Chains A and B, each alone.
Chain A
Amino acid sequence: MNGEIIAAPNLQPEVRRRPHEGRKFLSVPGILFLIIVTQVPFALTIYFSFTGWNLLRPDSQRFLGWERMWNNYSWILRNPDFYIVIKNTVALTVSVVIVTFILGMLLALLMNRRFPGRGLARTMLISPFLIMPVAAAVLWKNLMLDPSFGLSAWLLPLFGLPSVFLLQEAPMATIIGIVSWQFTPFVMLILLAGLQSLPDSTREAAWLDGAGPVAMFRFIILPHLRRFIEIALLLQVIFVLNVFGEIFVTTSGGPGIQTTNLSYQIFLEAFSRWNIGRASAYGLFAIVLANILVLLFLRVVRSQQKETA
């Protein structure tokens, strides 16, 4: 039949759509909603950071004046605790990124093969990433690491090790461990998606050319994975900067401020010291930091879209 000719008028989609051009405004309510929910708080964060507002002193809610408006920022920069918090945030983020990258890559390579039970293995592997961060923390703190009835209290002596409460002895390392346990599946999933997008023919060609496993990884797999690695690392950093629940449950940022990261510091400043001005100034640090990372992420995404387009 020659139905095709009737059904496909010789017009570009652009032209065919013209009659309903007004429908592009259907996006307006959604966009307005998103602007209100995200940009209004953002603008207020900036404004509050220039006030000396403390909720415990109701009269303090006002702009500091043009001369003193940077007070919160200069206070933060002069406070030694700020540098400890930044150091903790960087240590937590960098360690988690390194640990999860190595484990995630290993697991992705192992999972990128056909074998019986692969679906089950995949399902088990992604589970730590699916559960609530606070549930993961409660589970590790009480069932795994508790000094009297956690599994570690039974396991460590079996290996001749002293039974210690890891969260007390090495709080930051333990938090890094718990967060890494949660995020390894995420890195694995992204890298696995990358590995699976590598055509078999490329591998076979390299194999026929005599490439061993190391050369294959170094010259075929790694270059192909570059984009995926960039995306995994950037998203990982963005997510790990926001880690809060794990710290809240396990150490409450302590002992002292040894495990306080930027998110937790903002929480303390806002909801235990009720210092709205200072918490907002800290918040702006977090937003600026995240936005730099997001810009990098968008650059990677864009260059990838151009390549596939």
Chain B
Amino acid sequence: MSRAKLTHHVLNVVTLALAFLMFFPILWMALTSFKTEDLAIAFPPQVVFTPTLVNWQQAIFNSPLLEFLSNTLIISFGSILLALALGFPTAYAMAYYSTKRTDGLLLWMISTRMLPPAGVIVPLYILFRDLSLLDTHLGLIIVFGGMNFPLVVWMLRSFMLEIPFDVIEAARIDGASLWQELTRVIMPLLYPGLAATSLLALIFTWNEFFFVVNLTTREASPLSVYVSTFRAAQGDLFIARMSAVVTAAIIPVLIAGWVAQRQLVTGLTMGAIK
């Protein structure tokens, strides 16, 4: 084997080993969730064992996991729908009817997306208190709708710009109304883009912690608040059961992220990198 080839193979092994090392803590937690509590804290740690589903049963049927999950789902889907409902027409106008203010507006949207949550939490809390929105789904849907809106506009606009204008023109010649143009012509061509955008928004909303921990107490608290309660004292901690809960809480976003890998960078950099 030539030296170059040997180097290549060694580097492959190194890369895979590093990737495995990065992933290992998550894998370890997933493994632990299938162990008994005794086995979970046994030294040396066991890699080969008879898996048990008892922690998952406990997590699902004997803990508030599902309540928090349903809050997360309501808030995530609500805010994504709100951002899409407002963002789709905005993206359409900015893609096909740009004015001299459009570029400035798009850049301003990036700046709102990157506003530090800690900088606006105080007035949000006060406003929520006075409008009775504290600890409600609606309140969080509005806040996250605002967070997802710039992302939706940026992504959808760039996908729309890739649609050849001739297609839209042809529909207009056939007498399509605005509604038909949006729903019958643009929407079908945009499905992949809509899916990618929604998945990214889902990841951000699902994982957010700062707003939700300060604007909810229990009724509307999502999964991230539940997960954070496992920070408490070690003594009475059930390691295996905790692993099941936390694993359950992260699996959906892991899948969403793996599916939307290609668009992840575009979304994170607000289109700065394609």
Question: Are the C-beta atoms of B273 and A37 separated by less than 8 Å?
Answer: no
- A-B contact list, 19 entries, CB within 8 Å: A23-B93, A23-B96, A37-B149, A111-B15, A121-B19, A124-B19, A125-B18, A134-B224, A137-B231, A154-B43, A190-B269, A193-B265, A238-B114, A249-B228, A262-B118, A267-B121, A271-B125, A286-B116, A286-B119
Given A242-B118, A245-B209, are A134 and B22 also a contact pair (CB < 8 Å)?
A: no
A57 at the interface (CB under 8 A from B): no
Q: Which of B151-166 contact A (CB under 8 A)?
A: 153, 165-166
In whole Å, how far is A60's beta carbon from the nearest beta carbon of chain B? 13
In whole Å, how far is A177's beta carbon from the nearest beta carbon of chain B? 11
The CA of A300 and the CA of B272, in the complex, are separated in Å by 9
The CA of A120 and the CA of B206, in the complex, are separated in Å by 24
Given A44-B126, A110-B11, A287-B115, are A31 and B90 also a contact pair (CB < 8 Å)?
A: yes
Name the one of A48, A116, A235 contacting B123, with C-beta atoms under 8 angstroms: A48
In whole Å, how far is B10's beta carbon from the nearest beta carbon of chain A? 11
In whole Å, how far is A36's beta carbon from the nearest beta carbon of chain B? 8
Name the one of A130, A248, A276 contacting B122, with C-beta atoms under 8 angstroms: A276
Q: Which of A194-252 contact B (CB under 8 A)?
A: 194, 228, 231, 235, 238, 241-242, 244-245, 248-250
A92 at the interface (CB under 8 A from B): no
In whole Å, how far is B110's beta carbon from the nearest beta carbon of chain A? 7
Residues of A within 8 A of B214 (CB): 267, 270-271
Given A153-B43, A270-B121, are A142 and B228 also a contact pair (CB < 8 Å)?
A: no
Question: Are the C-beta atoms of A235 and B246 separated by less than 8 Å?
Answer: no
Residues of A within 8 A of B133 (CB): none
Name the one of B22, B165, B249 contacting A128, with C-beta atoms under 8 angstroms: B22
The CA of A245 and the CA of B210, in the complex, are separated in Å by 7
Q: Which of B11-36 contact A (CB under 8 A)?
A: 11-12, 14-16, 18-20, 22-23, 25-26, 28-29, 32
Per-residue interface assignment for chain B, residues 43 to 65, with 1 indicating a CB less than 8 Å from any chain A CB and 0 otherwise: 11100000000000000000000
A74 at the interface (CB under 8 A from B): no
Per-residue interface assignment for chain A, residues 278 to 291, with 1 indicating a CB less than 8 Å from any chain B CB and 0 otherwise: 01101110110111
Question: Are the C-beta atoms of B94 and A27 separated by less than 8 Å?
Answer: yes
Question: Are the C-beta atoms of A154 and B15 separated by less than 8 Å?
Answer: no
Interface size on B, residues (CB 8 A): 99
Question: Are the C-beta atoms of B119 and A115 separated by less than 8 Å?
Answer: no
The CA of A297 and the CA of B93, in the complex, are separated in Å by 25
Name the one of B97, B111, B223 contacting A294, with C-beta atoms under 8 angstroms: B111
Question: Are the C-beta atoms of A286 and B231 separated by less than 8 Å?
Answer: no
Residues of A within 8 A of B134 (CB): none
Question: Are the C-beta atoms of A30 and B96 separated by less than 8 Å?
Answer: no
* Most chain A beta-carbon contacts within 10 A, residue among B29, B32, B87, B123: B123
The CA of A41 and the CA of B124, in the complex, are separated in Å by 6
Which B residue sits closest to A285, measured CB to CB?
Answer: B119
A189 at the interface (CB under 8 A from B): yes
Question: Are the C-beta atoms of B209 and A248 separated by less than 8 Å?
Answer: yes
Which B residue sits closest to A287, measured CB to CB?
Answer: B119
The CA of A295 and the CA of B115, in the complex, are separated in Å by 12
Residues of B within 8 A of A291 (CB): 111
Question: Are the C-beta atoms of B28 and A298 separated by less than 8 Å?
Answer: no
Number of A-B contacts (CB under 8 A): 311
Residues of B within 8 A of A111 (CB): 15
Question: Are the C-beta atoms of B273 and A231 separated by less than 8 Å?
Answer: yes
Question: Are the C-beta atoms of B115 and A38 separated by less than 8 Å?
Answer: yes
Residues of B within 8 A of A244 (CB): 117-118, 209-210
Residues of B within 8 A of A123 (CB): 258, 261
Question: Are the C-beta atoms of B118 and A135 separated by less than 8 Å?
Answer: no
The CA of A151 and the CA of B27, in the complex, are separated in Å by 13
Question: Are the C-beta atoms of A149 and B119 separated by less than 8 Å?
Answer: no
Name the one of A26, A42, A267, A289 contacting B90, with C-beta atoms under 8 angstroms: A26
Which B residue sits closest to A228, measured CB to CB?
Answer: B273
Question: Are the C-beta atoms of B26 and A128 separated by less than 8 Å?
Answer: yes
Question: Are the C-beta atoms of B18 and A107 separated by less than 8 Å?
Answer: yes
Question: Are the C-beta atoms of B231 and A249 separated by less than 8 Å?
Answer: yes
Name the one of B20, B125, B149, B272 contacting A33, with C-beta atoms under 8 angstroms: B149
Residues of B within 8 A of A134 (CB): 209, 224, 227-228, 231
B77 at the interface (CB under 8 A from A): no
Name the one of A8, A34, A44, A149 contacting B127, with C-beta atoms under 8 angstroms: A44
The CA of A20 and the CA of B92, in the complex, are separated in Å by 12
Residues of A within 8 A of B242 (CB): 138, 142
Residues of B within 8 A of A304 (CB): 272
Given A30-B153, A42-B115, are A110 and B18 also a contact pair (CB < 8 Å)?
A: yes
Question: Are the C-beta atoms of A126 and B125 separated by less than 8 Å?
Answer: no
Question: Are the C-beta atoms of A154 and B45 separated by less than 8 Å?
Answer: yes
5 shortest interchain CB distances as A-B pairs: A37-B146, A44-B123, A30-B90, A24-B97, A124-B23
